[in-house]
Amino acid sequence: MVKKLVRTTVSYVSLLIVIFLIGVPCFLMTLLPARWRYDNKLFFWLSHVFYIAALKTSMVPITVIGKENIPNEPVIIVANHQSSMDIPLIGSLVNSFSHIWLAKSGLKRYWIGPIVRRMAILIDMSTPQKGLRSLVKAINMIKGKKRHAIVFPEGARFIGDNSVREFFSGFAMLAKQAKRSVVPVMIFDAYKVYPPGSFFVHKHPVKVVVGKPFHFQKDETLEAFKNRVYAWFVKQVDDSEK
């Protein structure tokens, strides 16, 4: 117990230092006008450093398989969502490439709200009409731009096991309208590092699998494309249990 408490304390203190040294400058850069902040090379370089440093503070072994499947061109990255750790895990994969997160509108109420409002596209799913308007905004933000879009298509964080929940089809519409390929990312066991309601940071291996890009086939519907991408995630879970 003492060893776990020491590890947890060191982890939290280290994270606070990272937030102060890197997170604060990143936040200040989000105050720039929109025409300067969304493709700011310095901001995304600092963001990459922040993601890496934040992961280091957890002091857990992380294995990444298939990172080379993320091309040096803008794509839609879709991932399962287990933990707050998922954000630096996914962010670290894109290096300093410009990217925009699609996030639930409810996140603006939390401490990360100021950054989320400035650097992410808030998806309001309270009504179908608001959800559609959010997607249209997302399409306009990335279409013709050299920016990744990062989406958690389950729509929320699910904790307890490595299974994946049903996907919303918004990412498929985004990919089709923006003419982007979709790169799937499966995260395993991140929820075991920061269990819900636990103060302790648990030392548990985390694995990240990056799949090859998916492309829309001729005459493929949004639903069929969504299901094809979802099936890849299900296969990763099944393979991990064999």
Per-residue pLDDT of the chain (242 residues), as tens digits, is 788 899 899 999 999 999 999 988 888 888 888 778 888 899 999 999 999 999 999 999 999 999 999 999 999 999 999 988 999 999 999 999 999 998 776 655 555 656 777 778 887 777 777 778 888 888 888 888 999 999 999 887 787 788 899 998 889 999 999 999 999 999 999 999 988 777 888 899 999 999 999 999 989 999 999 999 999 999 999 998 77
Per the structure, how many domains does the chain have? 1
Q: Please report the pLDDT score of residue 105 as a whole number.
A: 64
With tokens 């606070």, the residue in question is 16
Q: What is the pTM of this model?
A: 0.91
Residue at 33 is within a domain: no
Residue at 45 is within a domain: no
Q: Please report the pLDDT score of residue 54 as a whole number.
A: 94
156 CB contacts (<8 Å, ≥6 apart)? 81, 104
Residue at 145 is within a domain: yes
116 CB contacts (<8 Å, ≥6 apart)? 101, 103, 107, 108, 122
In terms of Cα–Cα distance, which of 91, 93, 117, 94 is closest to 104? 117
In terms of Cα–Cα distance, which of 64, 121, 40, 51 is closest to 91? 51
Contact (CB, 8 A) for 167 and 153: yes
Rg of the chain on CA atoms, in Å = 18
Q: Please report the pLDDT score of residue 110 as a whole number.
A: 58
Residue 219 sits at φ, ψ, to 5 deg, of 65, 15
Q: Print the domain residue range for 71.
A: 59-240
Residue at 191 is within a domain: yes
Residue at 18 is within a domain: no
Residue at 81 is within a domain: yes
Q: Which residue blocks in 69-162 are alpha helix, DSSP H? A: 86-93, 113-119, 128-142
Neighbours of 179 (CB within 10 A): 11
For position 89, which CATH number holds? 3.40.1130.10
Distance CA 79, CA 88 (A): 12
Residue at 202 is within a domain: yes
Q: Please report the pLDDT score of residue 131 as a whole number.
A: 76
Residue at 172 is within a domain: yes
Distance CA 101, CA 87 (A): 9
Q: Strand, coil or helix: what is 201?
A: coil
